[in-house]
Structure 1
């Protein structure tokens, strides 16, 4: 008798579970689902612009999640509206920054609502939609607006007292006057601050050229200059032990010559000038 009662109770429990499970999720979402999410997002961001395509997801069981990846831009706010079908009771939305850190979430909300995030850095963000209670289809639509300037951003910065930078052009001119008296500069100065910079200059036969680079004193420790001919053959170089480097070349063929200025040690701004005689 006891065993019969236990089996009867178990049968009732299993029947109840099957009743709660309900029919399977429909293969296609309701046709009005994207429009509901669109209306929610557009109403909130009246001056915004539509961002990306409709993001569709489906959950065949509770807590099943769908991930999306969005390219967000800094200084913009994103209005992410979601809408679930009739079988979605509660919905959750999460967002992670490009480094994988979770930033914000809306957990266990009604099946239709809005989630806002203002990006502070540009990159690929991960967005996750999850049916927290129930199961079914959902849609997410995003609108974008430009973020308003914050008070801290608008506040004037305290002026920093910096030592005046060295006149790199004057340093180069002095080197040119000593190495190639009477030579004239070709075009403007080339300026860079990266570890290395590649530039090009036209050379003609019958002329000699000097390429002189100068880096910020005390910041650039060693400066290198390399030169390639129009056929990409390296023809000369100067690996200086100081913040000034120079190469010279008398052209035998016309064309576009490539030169590179490289900061081998240290870090700072630098300039280069091309002189011809």
Structure 2
């Protein structure tokens, strides 16, 4: 028994896709001027690389693939234009390595433009494809020097060492710095040896972005002997211990992305 081909399904598929428009025997004479106009607008003062690359698609999904030598330090502008019967154009560019396109423009219309700035010298591959419609097309490649990369300027923060030293000079003239601690998290703990007969100042400062600066100290018996909860980026207090021992210092800040420090200063009682 013979099985008949599903003619109705085939007719339905053709109807859905639409019949490709007829392709003219020769390309539209305006393709070259369209490409140059786009290139002048997108990449002024660029230099054309070779002649136009040309292709023709008699149905949707058809196109051509080309190759061009590219240099590191240059940026390349790929400009495509098609006959008036081209409805959607798909332009892709690949670098010397890798399977994924480095640049692409799938445009609704007969023109497309994309740019590619290679990081290494080599042969780039590019493809022009008529995604909808049919007709002749041309692609121009233009190059110009890549813009210089401007190194980001690092923000200069506050000089915390100087701020702490100035605060110490005002609060305890003649005091000697014993330690300088740097916060590592939102809560940082240190232990420092204090001696009887000396007076100590705990002076902290953070970058301007720090809004809460909480400083605590406990004696060797774990009794809290001082605290300063400042709504700002600086805090300090002093203490004269009655016995030698290891004292516990704690700093809490609300901003861990910016630096904070605590200095310990001493002088005889």
Normalised TM-score (structure 2): 0.49
**Could you say which structure has the larger radius of gyration?**
2
More helix by share: 1
Normalised TM-score (structure 1): 0.47
